[in-house]
């Protein structure tokens, strides 16, 4: 008050304007842009904030970092706050989760600041080339076994740079089945994901261009490719993917060609996509079939070798056209060659007629041999195509059947494999109950608008009468529908298996409930028999005419009967509550109520003066079932009192955090190890050396069940300085009109109040 500026950062600006350097600290939660995020994490709204731009204008920014565990230890030792503030700070704002989230925010903010500076510098200096400030490595996969070597090599390269990232990409053409082994691609996908990278499946007719487009689109700095598996003679068809990518990558992308064991071993039989021969081979075949005879004619006009040699040379061109382009380029080569031989080299020249019958026979033999060779090459290409397709289909079906039968594939994963195998945009499994019912989607993979009916898809494959596999993207060739039908049948099997698994889970839950009820009856036989025996003995004694009881004796026996009855009532109540929780029949009646009206009613079962209440009246109202909350709190308080050492009281405190209210039950007992904190809420468990007869181990299980039924949570934490703290988190009630608030303050009790009983702490044995 009285300062010239309203905010401290405005004072800093005045100091800087006066030529004074300023060194300051600022917590990440006080940055203006992170106010909403911090509030959602911690539940606390920061009133004092600093504009991000003020901090970003600093000449130097340093991150002062510390692990949450180290910070909490310093606080617990009193190095930061006064001792009376340590417990509240550790249990509220400075929780491990809050500190971890704030730490990550700080790291990301500083990283963004460095990136902004780099981008600003590049813009000011007009730097357009890619800078390797962060290594992003693209691995080109072919589906061959060498892919694993490439992925591991790329991972080692990424480890050498800060923040390196690996992106594995497989480029598939858009026609027909993929040429890669689906099993091998799945193995490589798993490997790259295990190494922290990502897998991508893209479509592209020109593999080098698609690979470079992808790399530039993700701002990659390096590309890792394997040495070609092609044989030496296959290089006459082109330089290959690796050489093309290296030539066209430009100065911004480094291309690594990695050697491997599959070099020069051949690619095997390629699967044709849309045609038996690739587009480049067909073009080369037509050039050889038409342009080759013309060039050969010009050459033979200057060098005369004789008609027999000329025929053999033209025949060699026809064979080359057949090998390159198939049947039709070979036929064209035979036709053009025969005409050129007749016109230029068969007497009389420059005329179509043939004077010597022997020359006519030679031309006829030439045409016949050319047609025969072209037919043989075409048949060989057909057989090669069929063999490759059958091999690919067999491999796909074998892998698919084995994977599905082992139960390792989810429906979404299978649909994604369908989409990738056929190069489609999306794949969905649709089903309906009958012929007139609407279609529903049982699973989907890919992108694009969802398909509501099989008729809306580009390809649909029926599976029975009321199920269909629908794909969008393009129309598939008829020869691919056999594999697609197998995928559709397997998708139906996976869907049935998933539903059977869900049914088995429900059956398992019912069996678990029966098991718990059986164990419950076995566990409580002694605990029920003991109070019954005491009640029976006291009643028998009172009814006996042989003994003259004094008033004090009669009062003592009646007190024993009352205590036994209370104990029985407590045991039976917990048994019934646990049974209702296991069968899912707990239906809470949610009402808005004040916590300070319910918690005091839960203290009837503990000695007077053993609990300190710190429930502020200013706490917001909570949306709970008052009866369930009372019984849950009673179990928690009784447990805490049971394990608190003599003379130490239990603290029950309430606090508000954002849209929730927390009630903490704090004891100073021996505590519970971290590995047992989750198991203490299991039924029929008691902590440590708790004697028999103190309960059946249901108190905390019932308390957590009631908390979750009301939409809350119950967890265990260590008490600073020793002990255990039970944290009950409840949903705060939404703001309501005054009349509604006043009516909601009437306490509602859907269950009878807890009866006094001996508390118990549950833990794994």
pLDDT confidence tier of residue 313, bands split at 50, 70 and 90: confident
Inform me whether the pLDDT recorded for 727 exceeds 50. Answer: yes
Which domains are assigned to the chain? 24-124 (3.40.50.300), 136-258 (3.40.50.620), 279-384 (no CATH), 589-744 (3.30.565.10)
3-state DSSP call for residue 738?
helix
Q: What is the mean pLDDT of residues 67-89?
A: 83
Strand-pairing partners, residue 200, are: 169
Give the C-alpha separation, 612 to 652, whole Å: 6
Write down the residue that tokens 């409580």 correspond to.
524
Q: Based on the number of CB atoms within 10 Å of its own CB, is 287 exposed (0-12), middle (13-18) or buried (19 or more)?
A: middle
Say if CB 640 and CB 705 are below 8 A apart: no
Give the C-alpha separation, 344 to 625, whole Å: 106
Give the C-alpha separation, 444 to 471, whole Å: 10
Say if CB 527 and CB 533 are below 8 A apart: no
Average the pLDDT over each of 195-199, 542-546, 572-576, 700-704 and give the range with the smallest value: 572-576
Question: How many Cβ atoms sit within 10 Å of the Cβ of residue 25?
Answer: 6
Q: What is the mean pLDDT of residues 711-733?
A: 89
Give the C-alpha separation, 339 to 757, whole Å: 113
Candidates 144, 227, 155; CA nearest to 188 is 144
Write down the residue that tokens 């995020």 correspond to.
37
In degrees, to the nearest 5, what angle opens at C-alpha 508 toward C-alphas 506 and 511? Answer: 115
Q: What is the DSSP letter of 161?
A: S
Average the pLDDT over each of 44-58, 103-117, 663-677 and give the range with the smallest value: 103-117
pLDDT confidence tier of residue 739, bands split at 50, 70 and 90: very low
Candidates 650, 579, 662; CA nearest to 616 is 662
Query: How far, in Å, are 667, 687, 689, 762 from residue 642 at the CA level?
Result: 9, 11, 13, 11
Using one digit for the tens of pLDDT, what is the confidence trace for 622-634? 998 888 888 888 8
Give the C-alpha separation, 233 to 236, whole Å: 6
Give the C-alpha separation, 341 to 300, whole Å: 10
Using one digit for the tens of pLDDT, what is the confidence trace for 325-356? 777 787 788 778 777 877 777 777 776 666 56
């Amino acid at each position: 008050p009285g300062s010239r500026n309203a905010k401290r950062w405005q004072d800093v600006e005045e100091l800087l304007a006066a030529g004074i350097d300023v060194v300051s600290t600022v917590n990440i939660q006080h940055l203006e842009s992170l106010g909403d995020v911090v509030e959602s994490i911690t539940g606390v709204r920061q009133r004092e904030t600093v504009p991000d731009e003020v901090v970003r204008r600093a000449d130097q920014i340093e991150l002062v970092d510390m692990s949450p565990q180290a910070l909490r230890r310093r606080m617990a030792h009193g190095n930061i706050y006064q001792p009376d503030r340590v417990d509240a700070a550790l249990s509220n704002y400075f929780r491990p989760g809050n500190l971890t989230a704030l730490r990550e925010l700080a790291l990301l903010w500083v990283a963004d600041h460095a990136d902004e500076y780099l981008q600003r510098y590049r813009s000011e200096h007009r730097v357009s080339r890619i800078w390797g400030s962060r290594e992003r490595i693209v691995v080109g996969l072919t589906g061959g076994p060498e892919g694993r070597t490439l992925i591991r090599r790329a991972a080692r390269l990424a480890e050498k740079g800060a923040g390196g990232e690996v992106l594995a990409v497989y480029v598939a053409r858009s026609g027909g089945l993929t040429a890669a082994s689906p099993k091998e691609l799945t193995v490589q996908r798993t490997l790259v994901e295990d190494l922290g990278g990502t897998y991508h499946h893209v479509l592209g007719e020109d593999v080098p261009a698609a690979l470079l487009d992808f790399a530039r689109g993700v701002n990659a700095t390096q590309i890792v490719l394997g040495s070609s598996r092609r044989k030496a003679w296959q290089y006459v068809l082109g330089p290959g993917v690796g050489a093309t990518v290296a030539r066209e990558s430009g100065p911004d992308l480094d291309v690594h060609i990695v050697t491997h064991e599959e070099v020069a071993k051949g690619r095997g039989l390629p699967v044709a996509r849309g045609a038996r021969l690739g587009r480049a081979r067909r073009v080369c075949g037509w050039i050889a079939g038409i342009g080759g005879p013309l060039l050969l004619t010009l050459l033979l006009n200057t060098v005369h070798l004789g008609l027999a040699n000329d025929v053999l040379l033209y025949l060699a061109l026809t064979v080359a056209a057949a090998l390159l382009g198939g049947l039709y380029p070979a036929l064209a080569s035979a036709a053009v060659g025969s005409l050129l031989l007749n016109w230029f080299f068969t007497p009389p020249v420059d005329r179509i007629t043939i004077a010597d019958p022997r020359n006519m026979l030679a031309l006829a033999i030439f045409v016949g041999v050319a047609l025969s060779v072209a037919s043989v090459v075409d048949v060989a290409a057909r057989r090669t195509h069929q063999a490759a397709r059958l091999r690919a289909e067999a491999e796909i079906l074998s892998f698919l059947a084995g994977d599905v039968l082992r139960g390792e594939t989810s429906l979404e994963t299978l649909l994604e494999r369908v989409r990738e195998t056929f190069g489609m945009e999306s794949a969905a499994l649709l089903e309906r109950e009958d012929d007139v019912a609407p279609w529903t989607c049982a699973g989907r993979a890919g992108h694009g608008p969802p398909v509501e009916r099989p008729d809306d898809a580009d390809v649909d494959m029926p599976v029975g009468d009321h199920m269909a596999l629908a794909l969008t993207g393009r129309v598939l060739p008829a020869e691919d529908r056999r594999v697609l039908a197998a995928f559709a049948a397997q998708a139906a099997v996976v869907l049935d298996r998933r539903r059977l698994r869900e049914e088995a889970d429900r059956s398992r839950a019912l069996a678990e409930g029966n098991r718990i009820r059986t164990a419950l009856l076995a566990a409580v036989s002694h605990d029920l028999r003991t109070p019954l025996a005491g009640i029976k003995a006291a009643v028998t004694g009172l009814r006996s005419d042989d003994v003259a009881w004094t008033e004090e004796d009669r009062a003592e026996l009646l007190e024993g009967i009352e205590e036994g009855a209370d104990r029985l009532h407590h045991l039976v109540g917990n048994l019934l509550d646990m049974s209702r929780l296991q069968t899912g029949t707990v239906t809470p009646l949610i009402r808005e109520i004040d916590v300070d009206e319910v918690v005091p009613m839960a203290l009837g079962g503990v000695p007077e003066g053993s609990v300190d209440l710190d429930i502020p009246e200013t706490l917001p109202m909570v949306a709970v079932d008052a009866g369930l909350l009372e019984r849950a709190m009673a179990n928690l308080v009784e447990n805490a009192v049971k394990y608190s050492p003599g003379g130490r009281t239990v603290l029950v405190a309430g606090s508000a955090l954002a849209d929730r209210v927390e009630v903490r039950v704090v004891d100073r007992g021996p505590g519970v190890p971290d590995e047992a904190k989750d198991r203490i809420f299991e039924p029929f468990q008691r902590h440590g050396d708790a004697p028999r007869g103190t309960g059946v181990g249901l108190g905390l299980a019932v308390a957590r069940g009631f908390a979750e039924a009301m939409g809350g949570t119950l967890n265990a934490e260590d008490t600073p300085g020793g002990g255990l703290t039970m944290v009950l988190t409840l949903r705060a009630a939404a703001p309501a009109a005054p009349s509604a608030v006043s009516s909601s303050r009437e306490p509602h009790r859907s269950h009878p109040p807890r009866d006094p009983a001996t508390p118990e702490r549950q833990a794994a044995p």
